[in-house]
């Protein structure tokens, strides 16, 4: 029913095979478009989609413990460690 197709990656320009098994998988899931990127470029794109979050050192305003927060503390608002934050949320 399906036969292997050779496609060209839109990112790197290399040819890659869209196998019969992959085509069947796409059809089962209802995907109508063929892949536009080779597997390495898809993997790189997925990794780049979510950059690693920068964490900043802080001191909890409640218990005084050192902690890390995902934002630059400005000093004008209290900072809570994960335990104190969870306790405040109730």
Q: pLDDT digits over 51-65, tens only?
A: 778 999 999 999 999
Per-residue confidence (pLDDT) for residue 85, from 0 to 100: 93
Per-residue confidence (pLDDT) for residue 49, from 0 to 100: 62
- Show the beta-strand stretches assigned E in 1-90: 5-8, 15-18, 56-59, 66-69
pLDDT higher than 70, residue 17:
yes
Instruction: Report residue 87: phi and psi, to 5°.
Output: -65, -35
pLDDT higher than 80, residue 48:
no
Per-residue confidence (pLDDT) for residue 77, from 0 to 100: 94
pLDDT higher than 80, residue 47:
no
């Amino acid at each position: 029913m399906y036969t292997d197709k050779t496609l060209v990656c839109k990112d790197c320009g290399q040819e890659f095979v869209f196998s019969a098994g992959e085509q069947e998988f796409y059809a089962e899931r209802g995907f109508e478009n063929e892949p536009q990127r080779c597997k390495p470029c898809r993997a790189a794109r997925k990794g780049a989609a979510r950059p690693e979050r920068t964490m900043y050192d802080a001191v909890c305003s409640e218990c005084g413990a050192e902690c890390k927060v995902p934002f630059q503390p400005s000093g004008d608002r209290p900072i809570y460690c994960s335990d104190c934050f969870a306790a405040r949320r109730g």
